[in-house]
Structures are given as C-alpha cells and as structure tokens.
C-alpha cells in the first residue's frame, strides 16, 4: 500500500512539528507502506522519508534539484502543483495531512474536493496537531452553515489530534483491506 503524506518542507518551523513528523514516520514504519510525497528532503517531509523503503517522489520543475537528496524508487516531474496533487492522489491508497503551509493547505482542499467528486473516495486523515487545522475546519463548517456545501462533506475526511488516534484509524484501514 502507498500512503501520501502532505506536510511542510521548511526547516525554519517550530521544532515540535519536526519532532511530530519524526514520530509519525517511526509509527508508520511498522506498516511497511510505500511513501508518496511532494519530494522535499527538508522540513517535516524530509523527516518522514527515512522510515520508508520505497519512496515515490512527485515534484515540479522548479524543485527538481532536491530530487538528488532523496532515495526515490520513482520520480515524477509534473508541470504544475495542481498536476502534482492530482497524480499523488491517484497513486496513493491512504492520504495523511500533517501541518504545513500554503502548499499543504492547497492539498487539504484539493484532496477533499477530489474525494467528494469520485465514486470511490480514499481514506483521508487530517492530523490536527495542536489545533493546527482548527481554522480550516471552521471554514468547512462555515461553508456548510452558508449552504456552499452539504453536511456530507465531512464524510470525506477524518480528523485525528494525536498519534494514538492516527494509529487507530490506520489499523482500522488495514483491517478493512
């Protein structure tokens, strides 16, 4: 199985987020997933890569130089970040979003809309560590409140707040496959 992990590629973030990525990587290592990710060797992204044997790297031309720092099984260079997100969504079996910047937020909503629009949505987990995604989740609630989305939009993702909840969801996903 392939797991997509979206997160920050910046090293300048608070160390607790880098530590979170490290802990998540260590926990996921025991499931022997293949990693699908946005191909950055730095930040939270870089922290998770060392726990995966098979890494599938997806990037855009602007960032191809960083591919030499990643031990990828396969590399995909796409024209736009929209194309990149679409390809990662298509190739992954399970989707996990850790905290991140605008690229990760783009993935958050792009994946949510794709999940809502396909016949067979994928398991999509938003890791709301330290309430990081509270405002984004409030925005979704506001979309529902104002009838821009129906309540069933919440059927297309699950929120976890700690590693224990994440592992429980992953265990449930493994048992249903």
Give 106-124 pLDDT, tens digit per residue. 999 999 999 999 999 999 9
**Separation CA 79–CA 166 (nearest Å):** 32
Buried b (16+ CB within 10 A) or exposed e, 16-49: ebbebbeebbeebeebebbbbbbbbbebbbbbbb
Confidence band for 177, pLDDT divided at 50, 70 and 90: low
- Distance in angstroms (rounded) separating the CA atoms of residues 138 and 46: 29
Q: Where are the alpha helices (DSSP H) in 64-101?
A: 81-91
The pTM score is 0.94
CATH assignment of 2-175? 3.40.50.450
Residue ranges per structural domain of the chain: 2-175
* Predicted pLDDT of residue 21: 97
pLDDT tens track for 11-53: 999 999 999 999 999 999 999 999 999 999 999 999 999 999 9
Question: Average pLDDT, whole number, for the chain?
Answer: 95
Helices 134-145, 102-117: inter-axial angle, 10-degree rounding: 40
The helix (H) or strand (E) run that includes residue 23 is helix 15-29
CA–CA separation, 14 and 91 (whole Å): 30
């Amino acid at each position: 199985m392939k797991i997509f992990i979206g997160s920050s590629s910046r090293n300048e973030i608070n160390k607790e987020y880098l530590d979170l990525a490290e802990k998540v990587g260590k926990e996921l290592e025991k499931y022997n997933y293949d990693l699908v990710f946005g191909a950055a060797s730095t930040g939270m992204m870089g922290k998770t890569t060392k726990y995966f044997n098979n890494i599938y790297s997806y990037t855009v031309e602007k960032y191809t130089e960083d591919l030499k720092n990643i031990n990828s099984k396969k590399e995909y260079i796409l024209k736009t970040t929209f194309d990149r997100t679409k390809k990662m969504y298509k190739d992954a079996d399970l989707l996990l979003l850790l905290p991140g910047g605008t690229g990760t937020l783009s993935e958050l909503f792009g994946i949510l809309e794709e999940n809502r629009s396909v016949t067979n949505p994928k398991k999509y987990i938003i890791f709301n560590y330290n309430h990081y995604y509270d405002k984004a989740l409030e925005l979704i609630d506001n979309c529902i409140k104002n009838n821009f989305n129906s309540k069933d939009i919440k059927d297309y993702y699950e929120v976890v707040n700690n590693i224990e909840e994440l592992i429980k969801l992953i265990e449930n996903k493994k048992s249903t496959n």
